[in-house]
């Protein structure tokens, strides 16, 4: 069953700028899906159309098999949205903001109060329930928007850059929360600039560039498109010159840091075996770059050229 | 969801919008309720008592009694208009209107919700200003049902006008231009302080093009039992204008004009 089905979606703004050139995309129910793309690629337009804040020129959008043009109310009931920018009334209290949103979705007041308490506790905002929105920190405001989007218990949650401007600790907390939410069956679609975030959280990834989908597959297949891998080793003992390692190109960044570049078809264990045979020991190992980031840059650059 | 559940959901959403609007009006009562009370008290003191005693009777009534219905109507008009234009535009400006736009709430519920908020403020201020009038006038309401119907109609009409203004506005200047340059002059020239029969023929003819004149006159009729203009055609005009404005607002909200990209 599909959580989202987009077919031939087109949008050109009044000024003549084409944001979407006939996008087709599907997201399965229960998926954790990332939509990646550089600034101006069309991500926000796509999300805006899903939430009906932007009107499409043509194409169809189905949310949980419900066409947004035919039954907009039912489609919207299944969707929760966390926009990139804060869009709540800053003079309202935290609990009021969430409770009102429940009301807009037709949830009776008593149930709305219970749900509000539940989501605010989940997102560690219950202590702030009587505080005006403007008094919250940036991270709390972002959590408030997630709480607001979850109060009607949507089947699909869309998050537009949910961790932008959030410190590392809070970002990790939000990742955990979203992973738990996904485990309960909620389909999550997120756009992000933090490619590490997409690599950590998502099972399937689409890359959008200049209004077109240029890649749409599972994370593993996407990463397999990378033909080389670069490992950075922190050496236990300094070396004067780079050792010769079979099947890999080795470069010393400094006397204690060795970079090994090898084909992604060669198992890492084989490279490590060669190091072992040469009695080169190391205290740390990491990928030189975020793999997804490397792929993203390659794909979008190829398209631009 | 079946039709019945959908209707219930719409009612809950409608109640939520009204509750939010009422909370806002009460939270900032010094901006929403108090100013009209102070202004009207001053009008009664200056025009009703100090100058009114020199003016004498107008249309067979003491001057303060003559101006009281117009002052109440003026407060209802400006407050119902101001409530919706500022609240809706504020939500649009802060983008909190998106909370409603992404939800399953229908256009009718959004319009009726904000309109009811405007009516509530119009009624509250109308009651407060009428209470002030009690200290300065001899209270008479000849046609109370007509007074209530007219209050509801006028506040509905101007709430919708405020909504239209907010939908079209792009900045805060846009929502102050119409009240300042159109609504206030029309109200003052709508026979609040004088009878239209006191005007020369030309200006009396021009005054008949001012819709607020009809509202003030009919409201005066409801209170004093006498008016410059027959009440029923004026009521018909009001109903027509309200329905027309509702249609315009519905069209704009339905197609997201001024709200969606």
Domain at A102, CATH number: 3.40.50.300
CA separation for the pair A284, B244 (Å, rounded):
74
Mean per-residue pLDDT, A137-162: 91
Which one of A152, A184, A218 terminates a domain? A218
- Answer whether B103 sits within 8 Å of A104, measured CB to CB: yes
C-alpha closest to that of A91 among A138, A135, A139: A135
Please state, in angstroms and rounded to a whole number, the distance separating the CA atoms of residues B251 and A46: 25
Share of chain A above pLDDT 90, in %: 37
In a domain, B239, yes or no: yes
Most confident listed range (A89-103, A234-248, A267-281) = A89-103
Question: Is the pLDDT assigned to residue A304 strictly greater than 60?
Answer: no
Within this chain, do residues A252 and A198 fall inside the same structural domain, yes or no? Answer: no
For residue A243, pLDDT beyond 80:
yes
- Residue A290 pLDDT: 59
| pLDDT on residue A100 | 95
| Residue whose tokens read 């900045």 | B171
Last residue of a domain, one of A161, A186, A218: A218
Q: Are B104 and B8 in contact (CB under 8 A)?
A: no
B16, B96, B256 member nearest A89 (Cβ): B96
The chain A residue lying nearest B24, using CA atoms, is: A92
Domain that holds residue A120: 2-218
Give the pLDDT band of residue B207 (cuts 50, 70, 90): confident
Do A26 and A112 belong to one domain? yes
Q: What is the mean pLDDT of chain A?
A: 86
Q: B30 to chain A, minimum CA–CA distance in Å?
A: 16
Distance (Å, whole) CA B86 – CA B178? 12
Residues in chain A within 8 Å Cβ distance of B255: 55
- In angstroms, rounded to a whole number, what is the distance separating the alpha carbons of residues A7 and A25? 7
pLDDT of residue A305: 57
Task: Write the ipTM.
Answer: 0.87
pLDDT of residue A119 exceeding 80, the answer is yes
CA–CA distance, A93 with B195 (Å, rounded to integer): 49
Which B-chain residues 130-189 have CB contacts (< 8 A) with chain A?
A: none
- CA of A180 to nearest chain B CA: how many angstroms apart? 25
Do A134 and A234 fall into the same domain?
A: no
Q: Return the pLDDT at A289.
A: 61
Partner A, chain B 90-109, Cβ-Cβ below 8 Å: 90-91, 94-96, 98-106
Q: Mean pLDDT over residues A49-59, rounded?
A: 90
The answer to the question of residue B86 being in a domain is: yes
Q: How far apart are CA A94 and CA A119, in angstroms?
A: 11
pLDDT at A222 over 60: yes
Residue B62 and residue A24: Cα distance in Å, rounded? Answer: 75
The verdict on A261 and A184 lying in the same domain is: no
Sign of the alpha-carbon dihedral angle for B146, B152, B158, B164: negative
Same domain, A173 and A34: yes
Hey, are the CB atoms on A83 and B1 less than 8 Å from each other?
no
Percent of chain B that is helix, strand, coil (3-state, to 5)? 80, 0, 20
Query: Do residue A105 and residue B9 have CB atoms under 8 angstroms apart?
Result: yes
Q: Which of B98, B104, B261 sits opposite A87 (nearest CB)?
A: B98
DSSP B194: S
Question: Across the interface, do A105 and B19 touch by the CB < 8 Å criterion?
Answer: no
Into how many domains does chain B fold? Answer: 1
Q: Which domain holds residue B182?
A: 3-254
B205 pLDDT tier (thresholds 50, 70, 90): confident
Contact B80, B25 (CB under 8 A): no
- The residue of A13, A51, A103, A160 whose CB has the most chain B CBs within 10 angstroms, and thus the best one to mutate to test that interface, is A103
Residue B157 to residue B223: CA distance in whole angstroms: 21
pLDDT above 70: percentage of residues in chain A: 93
The C-alpha atoms of residue B103 and residue B120 are separated, in whole angstroms, by: 24
Over range A275-294, report the average pLDDT.
78
Token pair listed for A283: 């205290």
Over residues B52-65, mean pLDDT: 78
For residue A239, what pLDDT band results from cuts at 50, 70 and 90? confident
Helices B107-136 and B231-254: angle between axes, nearest 10 degrees: 140
Q: Which of residues 2-21 of A touch B (CB under 8 A)?
A: 13
Residue B122 confidence class, pLDDT cut points 50, 70, 90: very high
Contact flag A87-B99 (C-beta cutoff 8 Å): yes
Say if B168 falls within a structural domain. yes
Q: Which residue of A has its CA nearest to B2?
A: A74
Least confident stretch, A257-261, B76-80, B95-99? A257-261
Please state, in angstroms and as integers, the Cα–Cα distance from residue B223 to each residue in A248, B137, B220, following that order.
Answer: 97, 12, 5
A6 to chain B, closest Cα gap in Å: 18
How many angstroms away from the CA of A36 is the closest CA of chain B?
22
Q: Which residue in chain A is spatially nearest to B5 when comparing CA positions? A: A106
Give every strand in the sheet of A58-63, ordered side by side: A18-28, A2-12, A58-63, A66-67
Q: Do B102 and A109 touch (CB under 8 A)?
A: no
Classify residue B261: in a domain, yes or no: no
**Same-domain status, A190 and A230:** no
Inter-chain residue contact A104 with B256, CB threshold 8 Å = no
What is the mean predicted confidence (pLDDT) over B195-212? Answer: 83
The residues in A 38-97 lying below 8 A from B, measured between CB atoms, are 48, 51-55, 72-74, 76-77, 79, 81, 83, 85, 87-92, 96
Q: Which of A159-173, A254-268, B120-134 has the highest mean pLDDT?
A: B120-134
What confidence tier does A247 reach under pLDDT thresholds 50, 70, 90?
confident
- pLDDT tens for residues B150-177? 999 999 999 999 999 999 999 888 988 8
Question: Looking at beta carbons, which residues of chain B come within 8 Å of A54?
Answer: 260-261
**Where does a domain end: A179, A194, A218?**
A218
Nearest Cα to B75, choosing from B139, B126, B28?
Answer: B126
What residues of chain B lie within 8 A of the CB of A85, using their CB?
95
What the block records as the tokens of A67 is 């066409």
Residues 6+ apart with CB under 8 A from B188: none
Note whether A76 and A130 are same-domain residues: yes
Q: In the structure, what pLDDT confidence band is assigned to residue A292 with cuts at 50, 70 and 90? A: low
Instruction: Identify the CATH number of the domain in which residue A233 sits.
Output: 3.30.70.1560
Chain A partners of B100 at a C-beta cutoff of 8 Å? Answer: 104
**Res. A116: pLDDT tops 60:** yes
Q: Are B13 and A13 an interchain contact pair (Cβ–Cβ within 8 Å)?
A: no
CB A57 within 8 A of CB A11: yes
Interface contact A53-B261, CB threshold 8 A: yes
Contact B12 A108 (CB under 8 A): yes
Contact A104 B261 (CB under 8 A): no
Contact status, residue A53 vs residue B101, Cβ threshold 8 Å = yes
Number of domains in chain A: 2
Quick check: B95 and A89 CB within 8 A?
no
């Amino acid at each position: 069953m599909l959580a989202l089905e987009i077919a031939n979606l087109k949008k050109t703004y009044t000024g003549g700028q084409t944001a979407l050139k006939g996008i087709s995309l599907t997201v399965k129910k229960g998926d954790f899906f990332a939509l990646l793309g550089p600034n101006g690629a069309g991500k926000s337009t796509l999300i805006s159309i899903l939430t009906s804040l932007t009107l499409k020129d043509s194409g169809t959008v189905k949310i949980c098999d419900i066409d947004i043009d035919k039954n907009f109310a039912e489609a919207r009931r299944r969707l929760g949205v966390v926009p990139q920018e804060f869009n709540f009334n800053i003079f309202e209290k935290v609990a009021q903001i969430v409770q009102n949103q429940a009301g807009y979705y037709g949830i009776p007041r008593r149930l709305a109060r219970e749900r509000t308490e539940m989501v605010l506790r989940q997102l560690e905002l219950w202590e702030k329930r009587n505080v005006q929105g403007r008094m919250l920190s940036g991270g709390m405001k972002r959590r408030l928007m997630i709480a607001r989007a979850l109060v009607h218990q949507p089947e699909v949650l869309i998050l537009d850059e949910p961790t932008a401007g959030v410190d590392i600790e809070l970002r990790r907390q939000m990742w955990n929360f979203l992973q738990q939410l996904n485990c309960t069956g909620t389909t999550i679609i997120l756009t992000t600039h933090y490619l590490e975030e997409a690599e950590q959280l998502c099972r399937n990834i689409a890359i959008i560039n200049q209004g077109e989908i240029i890649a749409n597959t599972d994370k593993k297949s996407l990463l397999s498109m990378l033909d080389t891998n670069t490992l950075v080793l922190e050496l236990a003992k300094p070396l004067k010159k780079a050792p010769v390692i079979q099947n890999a190109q080795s470069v010393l960044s400094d006397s204690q840091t060795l970079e090994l570049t090898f084909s992604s078809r060669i198992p890492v264990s084989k490279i490590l075996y060669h190091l072992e045979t040469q009695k080169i020991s190391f205290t740390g190992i990491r990928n030189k770059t975020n793999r997804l980031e490397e792929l993203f840059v390659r794909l979008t650059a190829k398209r631009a050229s | 969801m079946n039709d019945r559940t959908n209707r219930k959901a719409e009612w809950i959403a409608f109640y939520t919008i009204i509750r939010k609007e009422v909370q806002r009006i009460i939270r900032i009562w010094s901006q929403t309720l108090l100013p009209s009370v102070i202004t009207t008290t001053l009008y009664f003191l200056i025009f009703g008592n100090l100058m009114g005693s020199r003016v004498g009777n107008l249309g067979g009534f003491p001057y303060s009694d003559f101006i009281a219905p117009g002052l109440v109507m003026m407060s209802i008009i400006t407050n119902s208009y101001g409530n919706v234009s500022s609240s809706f535009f504020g939500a649009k400006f802060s983008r909190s209107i998106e909370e409603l736009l992404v939800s399953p709430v229908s256009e009718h519920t959004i319009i009726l919700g904000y309109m009811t908020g405007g009516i509530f403020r119009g009624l509250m201020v109308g009651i407060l200003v009428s209470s002030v009038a009690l200290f300065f006038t001899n209270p008479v309401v000849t046609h109370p049902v007509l007074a209530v119907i007219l209050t509801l109609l006028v506040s509905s009409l101007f709430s919708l006008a405020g909504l239209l203004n907010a939908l079209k506005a792009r900045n805060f200047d846009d929502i102050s231009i119409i009240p300042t340059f159109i609504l206030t002059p029309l109200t003052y020239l709508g026979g609040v302080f004088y009878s239209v029969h006191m005007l020369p023929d030309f200006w009396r003819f021009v005054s008949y093009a001012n819709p607020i004149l009809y509202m003030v006159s009919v409201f005066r009729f409801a209170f004093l039992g006498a008016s410059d203009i027959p009440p029923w055609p004026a009521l018909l005009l009001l109903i027509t204008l309200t329905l027309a404005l509702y249609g315009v607002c519905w069209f704009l909200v339905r197609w997201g004009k001024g709200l969606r990209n």
